[in-house]
Amino acid sequence: MKRIVVLGGGISGYGSAILAKKKGFDVFLSDSGRIADRYKARLDEWAVPYEEGGHTEERILAADEVVKSPGIPEKAPVVRRIREAGIPIISEIEFAGRYIGRARTICITGSNGKTTTTSLIYRILRDAGYNAALGGNIGESFAYSVATGDYDWYVLELSSFQLDGMYRFRADVAVLTNITPDHLDRYDYCFQNYADSKMRIVRNQHSRCAFIYSADDPVIAGQLPRHELRMRELPFAARAAVASGAGNAFLCDGRFTATVGRASVEIDTAQMKLKGLHNAYNAMAAALAALAAGVAPEQVRRSICAFDPVEHRLEPAGEYGGVAWINDSKATNVDSVWYALESMTRPVVWIAGGTDKGNDYAPLKEFARQKVRTLVCMGADNAKLVAEFTGVVPQIVSTGSLDEAMRAARDAARPGDAVLLSPACASFDLFKNYEQRGELFKQWVAEHLG
């Protein structure tokens, strides 16, 4: 019997372990930290043996194959020893993809916009009556959905870490929103390594597959000649001219037209609940993906116009005393913040900071100079942010906690302003994750202002 070891007991890990158990493998899950009670309950339900608080190396190195959770870096000692032992390491995506049968996949990656785009595609398919599951980096574990359901479509948000462990898996419809510097600490601070990871989204695609990508993104444009593309190309753009015999989408004067083959839909972005240029890009990508999946154009239009913003991404948290409070905690890199600042129509009190991932803040300085009244730095170490924006914004306040940052933002804001939490950094210095950071932001606003 083939022995499968799953490293990591989070949402990716427990799903992989349960799928391995269902497929009859000798499976063992190991987590160096604590496994959440809800995940342990499911592992117990499926009689999956596991350990937490450390790794039993002898048992791990007896594996025929290891499924590694995306949050575990290659530099982790246990991963290095597995590599040295010559044991194959794959991702949950690669593992689950072996067992989807005739089901089809729509896979979305990119430095920014992938959560909104993935959620929007899933909403369109479900509204159209498709038997679809949402998974990958959001929703339920892809592997758990495969183990416990029977779906025709899987809509998957994929991070670069998930793509790194993908070898034979194929996306029937691949969406690449953009490539901007992010997670460089995991890629030896080499941007090309990160870009190569993102381009794995087109791996194994053939002529019946579709590749949807931003024609406005200069990095993607530079990567395309490095790959032999056999699939249907479906570019979308607001700046560059786009032309493809298979179809495309183009935004002009607030309206975009998306076309795939003979199917076409035109959408007025003013009718969308999603606002801002970044969401116009997301909507174009989603429209192309849905049309490629066979959804009727009118259904695509209805679903896109009715779709509400994703939590923690430019999410209104209330307006009090003429000041709008906006939760953009999911903006964990510079490019996300660029789109957030681009969309601001009021003077901004900007809350930023956290765990810096090798950020280059230069692209933000022009918007900061034009729109930001006060920068409130919120982090364990704010020295880099303070140095970068001194002389760019009129006032900078350095704080070391959420409560301190929120009080500083409240004091700085005037009627007509917007307080924007858009950190440009990971959350791990002060918070468990960006979700907790966003929830605490909203909670503070409700308790102290509502």
Instruction: Please give the average per-residue pLDDT across 206-220, as a whole number.
Output: 95
- Rounded to whole angstroms, the Cα distance separating 205 from 263 reads 22
pLDDT in tens, 236-278: 999 887 878 899 999 999 999 999 999 999 999 999 998 888 8
Q: Which residues have C-beta within 8 Å of that of residue 434, sequence separation ≥ 6? A: 312, 329, 330, 332, 423, 426, 427
- pLDDT over 90 (residue 429): no
pLDDT of 357 above 80: no
Does the annotation mark 183 as catalytic?
yes
pLDDT at 184 over 70: no
Could you tell me the CATH superfamily of domain 315-448?
Mur ligase, C-terminal domain (3.90.190.20)
User: Does the pLDDT value for residue 170 go beyond 70?
Assistant: yes
137 is catalytic: yes
Tokens 């053939």 sit on residue: 206
As a whole number, mean pLDDT of residues 152-176 equals: 94
Q: Integer distance in angstroms from the first to the last C-alpha of the chain?
A: 59
Catalytic choice (183, 198, 278, 371): 183
Is 442 a residue of the active site?
no
Q: What is the mean pLDDT of residues 97-123?
A: 94
Name the DSSP class of 309.
Answer: P
Q: How confident is the model at residue 375, as a pLDDT?
A: 98
pTM exceeds 0.95, yes or no: no
Q: What is the pLDDT averaged over residues 360-370?
A: 92
Report the C-alpha gap between 398 and 386 in whole angstroms.
Answer: 8
**Cβ count within 10 A of residue 32:** 16
Predicted local confidence at residue 15, as pLDDT: 96
Residue predicted with more confidence, 195 or 419: 419
E strand spans, 35-144: 50-52, 65-68, 89-90, 104-109, 132-136
Which CATH superfamily, name and number, covers 99-306? Mur-like, catalytic domain (3.40.1190.10)
Intrachain domains 3-90 and 99-306 with the same fold? no
What local confidence, expressed as pLDDT, does residue 241 receive? 75
Is pLDDT at 86 greater than 70 in this prediction?
yes
| pLDDT for position 182 | 64
Q: Is the pLDDT of residue 142 over 90?
A: yes
The two structure tokens encoding residue 78:
């246990």
Active-site position among 137, 178, 282, 327: 137
pLDDT cut 70: percent of the chain above it: 99
d(CA 197, CA 159) in angstroms, rounded, equals 9
Domain 3-90 has CATH 3.40.50.720: yes
Query: Where do the domains of the chain lie?
Result: 3-90, 99-306, 315-448
Q: What is the mean pLDDT of residues 353-377?
A: 91
Catalytic option among 114, 198, 278, 357: 114
Mean pLDDT, the chain, as a whole number?
93
